[in-house]
């Protein structure tokens, strides 16, 4: 069997394309925040993680441009050697302060951040304990640990099921090093982790906690300080991880925690040491976004108003909308083809959302994932609700 045989045999995407229903890799030609240009038309974007609407904010764009003028377009090397700028250090200091930790460390993407933190932390006799629905970047990090040290190091528990977590963790040696890793806000469902219970279990069984707050920072907690802050548990979470590709209007990621822990990761993480650092415009954009997040908390209020308005509107129409308190609004459709069809009809009518099928969600839970921005106006939200009503009726999903 040739290595590439599986590639030549892979036809599912072509079949869906032939039906005109393929929802992925759709190019955006111009981006104005809530409105984008796709397929030669203006479309309401209801599927971006640009939660605070800052990727198109003139102040953020200007900061990025100024950074290019001062430092150039890239760093051409890793943080470890020749790729550290003064603004990398400034951003690390500001992020540590923002999430209430001693120290922070930047990585070039959020994906790399999870891998980059988990791999050096988990040694031969340690355990990483991971929620089954954690983001793929956590999964990859844990699989590397498993590859390095054997299958015993990786223990998984049912999604947000604290009873199961306690069951699996109680079987591990009490004095062994343990890291519980969880998303703060789960990216597909918008579920928030049961952090109070997770903290109780971690303390009881001598485990450390790493919280991936990609979708919580800038969204939950006081002034957007994230999921731990939302529960008043900032000091109980050992490592907070965040990405810049959502509320922070850029690309990259960070971890924050105690200084010796951050220093250790800084000197042992292949994902950090062997990868070029965040580019100047990316760093400058995050610095400006952070300044705006602190100065304009009303953006967060508006974001929640927007998401709640659509969540309620779609529920009132009879759609199966998962409950939540985040800007993520999942509408369960329950079938691959119907999800693609619904997606296509929304797109044809001027609304972009994300089509999510298995394995990203379990079979039967195929869904349309809507996500909102602080910069959506009521007219955009009304249009999304009206379009859902129209398409839902045409497909006989609602009366």
Q: How far is the CB of 36 from ligand PLP (least distance, A)?
A: 19
Residues 272, 75: Cα–Cα separation, whole Å: 14
Q: Quick check: is 269 catalytic? A: no
Alpha-carbon separation of residue 69 from 74, 76, 231, 236 (angstroms): 11, 16, 42, 41
Separation of first and last alpha carbons in the chain: 52
Residues 352, 28: Cα–Cα separation, whole Å: 11
The smaller minimum CB distance to ligand PLP, of residues 134 and 229, is found at 134
Give, as ranges, the residues between 146 and 175 that touch ligand PLP (CB under 6 A). none
Q: Which of 181, 217, 192, 190 is nearest to 54 (CA)?
A: 217
Query: Positive or negative, the Cα torsion across 220, 196, 252, 84?
Result: positive
> Considering only residues 183, 219, 229, 343, which one is a binding residue for ligand PLP as defined by CB under 6 A?
183
> Considering only residues 92, 131, 133, 212, which one is a binding residue for ligand PLP as defined by CB under 6 A?
212
Binding of residue 48 to ligand PLP (CB under 6 A) = no
Q: How far is the CB of 16 from ligand PLP (least distance, A)?
A: 22
Neighbours of 140 (CB within 10 A): 16
Binding of residue 110 to ligand PLP (CB under 6 A) = yes
Q: Which of 233, 185, 180 is nearest to 202 (CA)?
A: 180
Rg (CA), the chain: 21
The smaller minimum CB distance to ligand PLP, of residues 181 and 374, is found at 181
Close Cβ partners of 151 (under 8 Å, ≥ 6 residues apart)? none
Q: How far is the CB of 212 from ligand PLP (least distance, A)?
A: 5
Q: Quick check: is 246 catalytic? A: yes
Binding of residue 141 to ligand PLP (CB under 6 A) = no
Binding of residue 135 to ligand PLP (CB under 6 A) = yes
Neighbours of 297 (CB within 10 A): 12
Q: How far is the CB of 26 from ligand PLP (least distance, A)?
A: 17
CA atoms in the 13 A half-sphere facing the CB of 70:
14
* Cβ-closest position to ligand PLP: 110
Give, as ranges, the residues between 65 and 84 that touch ligand PLP (CB under 6 A). none
Q: Quick check: is 268 catalytic? A: no
Binding of residue 279 to ligand PLP (CB under 6 A) = no
Among the listed residues 137, 187, 247, 269, the single catalytic one is 187
Tell me the number of residues near ligand PLP by CB under 6 A: 14
Single out the segment in contact with ligand PLP by CB under 6 A; choices: 105-113, 149-157, 359-367, 383-391.
105-113
Give, as ranges, the residues between 234 and 263 that touch ligand PLP (CB under 6 A). 243, 245, 253
The smaller minimum CB distance to ligand PLP, of residues 178 and 215, is found at 215
Close Cβ partners of 55 (under 8 Å, ≥ 6 residues apart)? 31, 33, 249, 250
Binding of residue 111 to ligand PLP (CB under 6 A) = yes
CA atoms in the 13 A half-sphere facing the CB of 377:
4
Assess contact for 256 and 19: CB atoms under 8 A.
no
Q: How far is the CB of 243 from ligand PLP (least distance, A)?
A: 4
The smaller minimum CB distance to ligand PLP, of residues 128 and 172, is found at 128
Single out the segment in contact with ligand PLP by CB under 6 A; choices: 174-182, 210-218, 270-278, 315-323.
210-218
Among the listed residues 101, 135, 178, 246, the single catalytic one is 246
Assess contact for 336 and 360: CB atoms under 8 A.
no
> Considering only residues 55, 103, 130, 137, which one is a binding residue for ligand PLP as defined by CB under 6 A?
137
Q: Which of 54, 55, 88, 58 is nearest to 71 (CA)?
A: 88
Residue 93: both structure tokens together: 């200091």
Among the listed residues 215, 341, 376, 380, the single catalytic one is 215
> Considering only residues 50, 55, 103, 109, which one is a binding residue for ligand PLP as defined by CB under 6 A?
109
Per the DSSP assignment, residues forming a β-bridge with 178 are 127
Active site residues: 187, 215, 246
Instruction: Please give the residue ranges that form the binding site for ligand PLP (CB under 6 A).
Output: 109-111, 114, 135, 137, 183, 187, 212, 214-215, 243, 245, 253
């Amino acid at each position: 069997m040739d290595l590439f045989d599986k590639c030549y045999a892979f036809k599912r995407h072509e079949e869906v394309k032939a039906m005109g229903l393929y929802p992925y890799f759709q190019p955006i030609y111009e981006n104005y925040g809530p409105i984008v240009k796709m397929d030669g038309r203006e479309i309401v974007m209801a599927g971006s993680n640009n939660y605070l609407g800052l990727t198109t904010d003139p102040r953020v764009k200007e900061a990025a441009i100024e950074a290019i003028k001062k430092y150039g377009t890239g760093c051409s090397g890793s943080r470890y050697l020749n790729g550290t700028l003064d603004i990398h250090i400034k951003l690390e200091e500001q992020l540590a302060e923002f999430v209430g930790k001693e120290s922070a460390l930047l990585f070039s993407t959020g994906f790399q951040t999870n891998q980059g933190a988990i791999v050096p932390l988990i040694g031969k006799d340690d355990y990483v304990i991971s929620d089954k629905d954690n983001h793929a970047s956590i999964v990859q990090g844990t699989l590397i640990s498993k590859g390095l040290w054997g299958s015993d190091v990786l223990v998984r528990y049912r999604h947000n099921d604290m009873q199961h977590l306690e069951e699996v963790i109680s079987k591990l040696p009490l004095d062994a090093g343990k890291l519980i890793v969880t998303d703060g806000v789960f990216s597909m469902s918008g579920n928030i982790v049961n952090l109070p219970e997770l903290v109780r279990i971690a303390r009881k069984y001598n485990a450390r906690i790493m919280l991936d707050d990609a979708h919580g920072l800038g969204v939950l907690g006081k002034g957007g300080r994230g999921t731990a802050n939302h529960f008043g548990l900032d000091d109980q979470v050992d490592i907070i991880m965040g990405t810049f590709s959502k509320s922070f209007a850029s690309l990259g990621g960070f971890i924050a925690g105690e200084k010796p822990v951050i220093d250790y990761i800084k000197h042992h993480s292949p994902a950090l040491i062997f990868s070029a650092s965040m580019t100047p415009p990316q760093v400058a954009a995050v610095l400006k976004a952070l300044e705006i997040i602190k100065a304009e908390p009303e953006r967060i209020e508006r974001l929640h108003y927007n998401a709640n308005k659509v969540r309620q509107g779609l529920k009132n129409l009879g759609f199966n909308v998962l409950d939540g308190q985040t800007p993520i609004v999942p509408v369960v459709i329950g079938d691959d083809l119907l999800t693609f069809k619904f997606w296509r009809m929304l797109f044809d009518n001027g609304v972009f959302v994300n089509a999510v099928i298995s394995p990203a969600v379990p079979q039967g839970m195929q869904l349309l994932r809507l996500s909102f921005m602080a910069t959506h106006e009521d007219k955009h939200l009304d249009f999304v609700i009206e379009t859902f009503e129209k398409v839902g009726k045409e497909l006989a999903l609602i009366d």
